[in-house]
Structures are given as C-alpha cells and as structure tokens.
C-alpha cells in the first residue's frame, strides 16, 4: 500500500495492516547504561540498607530482600550472572540525586511513583514492584485502635518523602493537630519510638512490617493501625533518555511475573524447557529471538528464572516470612494487581 493510499485509508477510518519494521530496526538503538554495565562487568544498584524483607544489609555485609533480588534479576538478564551487582546504600535524601548524577544505574528501593518525579526530575519508573499504602505503627500502650484517635500525637516521619506530605494532608483533612518529629534514620526512629519521643511512626506498610520485624522481641508491643491513607506504588527507577535500558528493566519484571503465571520456577525450569505451550516457548527463548529486541541473549529470561526465580519465589523467600499478606501484590489471576503483557 502506498503512503498516499495509507493516509486516505486512515482518514476514512479503515483498518490498515501494520507495516513490519525492517529487521535492523528491531535490534538497533544503543544504550549508554548497558554499555557501562558491560564495560565494568557489574550493575550498580542503589538501594536501602535497613528494610528487612525488602532491602537489608546483614551483619556479614550481604544485601537481601525483594528489591535486592530484582537487581540480581536485571544483572542476570544483562550479564548472565545474578551475582554481578554492586550495591550502593542510599538514603531518602540522596537516592534520586544519585540516580540523576549517574552514580547508580538503577534505584531499587521504597520509592513511590509520582508525577513530579517522572515529569520534572528526568527519571522513569519501569513498573510497580510493590503496591503499598501509608499506615501508622503505634505502641499498644498508647491505647488507640484507629488513626482518627491520633489528634495531637507526636508522629515520627522521614524527610524528603511522600509520606511527610501525606501525613500533613491527612491530619489537616481530619481536623486533627499534628506534632511531626522529623528523623531520617530508621534506627534513630526506632530509638525514638521505644523511648516515647514519638507516639506513632508513619510510612508505607511494607516499611512498617520491616520496621516492626526489626524490633525483635519487642515487636508484639506494637501494632499497625487499620487505616491506609495513600496509594504508594513502589518500583524500580532509571534515568530518562535510555529507552533500551528502560525496556530491559521493565521486561525483567514482566518475565518474572509471566514465569509465575505459567508455573515456571527455578526448581522446575529444566523440565519446562520443552513445554509445547507457545507463550512458554517464547518466554524461554525456544521459539523466536525476543532477547535480540532488548539487546540481550536469547535465553535472558531463562537466566533470570534459573538464578533468581519468578516473582512469587522472591516474595516467599523474603516477604512472606514477615507475615505480610500478598494481597494486591498477588497475580491478577489470584485477585491481585500484578499483570504482565505477553511476549509475542
């Protein structure tokens, strides 16, 4: 179909078959981030060091958690080796500037996807790895069962976060008086809460669960109130201007979701390699080379599943032991929000 006829058909509202892109267009397009990762032989991952279950630096100097395993999955896809990750501990104050400055390749931490961060800071969220919401943790001794009973309370909150604004908005809308206690360090907040300087601590429920777990033998002395006062979609962040790396990070998560949907795990991967299901064959690189479109090898998803596992495996490894229900973070087939587009 000539260009003129195509335009006329479009104006007439007729269906027009898509023109296939030239073969070279499917694999072209450089990525300075991927080039840098391959040159240094490691992915540089900015993350938190103090969120048990999500991103935690242990006594032996090893990071673990949901966000850590995601960086491992990206490294497996790009370098074929999930161990080739260099972790950079970040704070709520410096995490976004570290990414903007190129000090890290990816930020995988408790970072909320908001419009200003994407529209004004030159950053892009590749997806939602954890659907969260802001809540409150209080001591049982306080004797409250609802956030509506916190009028005049001293509330610990971290600076430079969406939680700080959400807290002020919630108290203002509820007609309650607020005494914010602004502390950046989670350890200092823990000490302040135990010492009674704060009546409550507010942040996303994932962090509250990790924080409560960190209280050890005293965790039963504290409860999470039922109110959820915000939407906190948390996900990996990359710099704008490198669409190829953005695609790699986005489809790393999609591959982990699809693997769980298809029932493919790190344990049964070998037995599923000859699965006749077309969707499975495409995911595992048995038919067509979709990896080439991302600038990766044919079995990029196989490397992710074999070395890290599917999304459910990662959840069960790190988050489930804390007693946090999967809820909205389950697959869409289980009533959750995790849904991946097809590879085809």
SS3 annotation, 152-195? CEEEEECCCCHHHHHHHHHHHHCCCCEEEEECCCHHHHHHHHHH
β-pairing, 130-132 vs 232-234, is: antiparallel
The pLDDT of residue 204 is: 87
Q: Answer for the pair 81, 61: CB distance below 8 angstroms, yes or no.
A: no
> Quick one: residue 29, left, alpha or beta (phi over 0 = left, psi -120 to 50 = alpha)?
left
Q: Answer for the pair 124, 118: CB distance below 8 angstroms, yes or no.
A: yes
The pLDDT of residue 29 is: 57
Q: Answer for the pair 325, 59: CB distance below 8 angstroms, yes or no.
A: no
**What residues are paired with 155 via a beta bridge?**
180, 200
Which long-range contacts link 317-326 to residues 24+ away (Cβ below 8 Å)? 317/69, 318/53, 318/54, 318/64, 318/65, 318/66, 318/69, 319/53, 319/54, 319/66, 319/206, 321/53, 322/52, 322/53, 322/209, 322/210, 322/213, 323/209, 324/53, 324/205, 324/206, 324/209
**Residue range 132-232, CATH number:** 3.40.190.10
Q: What share of the chain is helix, strand, coil (3-state, %, to 5)?
A: 45, 15, 40
Name the pTM for this structure. Answer: 0.82
Give the residue among 150, 124, 131 at the shortest CA–CA distance from 139.
150
Q: Which two tokens stand for residue 216?
A: 């050890």
The pLDDT of residue 113 is: 95
Residue 228: CB partners within 8 Å, gap ≥ 6? Answer: 133, 134, 135, 205
Q: Answer for the pair 253, 127: CB distance below 8 angstroms, yes or no.
A: yes
The pLDDT of residue 30 is: 86
Give the residue among 106, 16, 82, 9 at the shortest CA–CA distance from 256.
82
The pLDDT of residue 28 is: 45
Domain layout of the chain by residue ranges:
132-232
pLDDT 10s digit of each residue in the chain, 344 long? Answer: 444 334 333 333 333 333 333 333 334 458 999 999 999 999 999 999 988 899 999 999 999 999 999 999 999 999 999 999 999 999 888 999 999 999 999 999 989 999 999 999 999 999 999 999 999 999 999 999 999 999 999 999 988 778 899 999 999 999 999 999 999 888 899 899 989 999 999 998 888 888 888 888 888 999 999 899 999 999 999 999 999 999 999 999 999 999 999 999 999 999 999 999 999 999 999 998 999 999 999 999 999 999 999 999 999 999 999 888 899 999 999 999 999 999 99
What is the Cα–Cα distance from 198 to 193, expressed in whole angstroms?
5
Radius of gyration of the chain measured on its C-alpha atoms: 23
What is the Cα–Cα distance from 273 to 264, expressed in whole angstroms?
10
Give the residue among 79, 107, 151, 118 at the shortest CA–CA distance from 304.
79
What is the Cα–Cα distance from 68 to 64, expressed in whole angstroms?
6
CA 77 from chain center: how many Å?
17
The pLDDT of residue 56 is: 92
């Amino acid at each position: 179909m000539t260009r003129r006829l195509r335009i006329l058909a479009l104006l007439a509202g007729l269906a027009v078959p898509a023109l296939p892109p030239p073969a070279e267009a499917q694999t072209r397009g450089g990525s300075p981030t991927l080039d840098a990762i391959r040159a240094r032989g490691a992915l540089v991952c900015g993350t938190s060091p103090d969120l048990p279950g999500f991103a935690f630096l242990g006594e032996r100097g090893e990071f673990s958690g949901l966000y850590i395993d995601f960086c491992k999955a990206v490294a497996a896809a790009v370098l074929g080796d999930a161990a080739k990750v260099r972790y950079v501990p970040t704070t709520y104050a410096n995490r976004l500037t570290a990414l903007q400055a190129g000090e890290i390749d990816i930020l995988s931490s408790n970072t909320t996807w908001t419009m200003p961060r994407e529209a004004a800071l030159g950053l892009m969220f590749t997806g939602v790895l954890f659907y969260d919401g802001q809540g409150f943790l209080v001591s049982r001794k306080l004797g409250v069962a609802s956030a509506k009973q916190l009028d005049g309370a001293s509330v610990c909150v971290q600076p430079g976060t969406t939680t700080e604004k959400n807290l002020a908005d919630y108290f203002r809308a509820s007609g309650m008086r607020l005494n914010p206690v602004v502390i950046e360090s989670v350890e200092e907040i823990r000490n302040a809460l135990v010492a009674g300087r704060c009546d409550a601590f507010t942040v996303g429920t994932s962090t509250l669960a990790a924080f409560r777990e960190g209280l050890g033998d005293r965790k039963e002395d504290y409860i999470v109130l039922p109110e959820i006062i915000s939407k906190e979609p948390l996900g990996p962040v990359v710099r704008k201007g490198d669409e190829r790396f953005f695609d790699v990070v986005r489809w790393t998560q999609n591959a982990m979701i699809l693997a769980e949907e298809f029932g493919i795990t790190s344990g049964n991967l070998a037995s599923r390699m000859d699965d006749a299901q077309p969707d499975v064959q495409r995911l595992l690189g048995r038919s067509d080379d979709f990896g080439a479109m991302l600038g990766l090898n044919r079995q990029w998803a196989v490397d992710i599943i074999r070395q890290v596992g599917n999304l459910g495996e990662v959840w069960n490894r790190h988050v489930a032991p804390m007693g946090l229900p999967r809820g909205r973070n389950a697959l869409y087939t289980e009533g959750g929000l995790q849904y991946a587009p097809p590879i085809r």
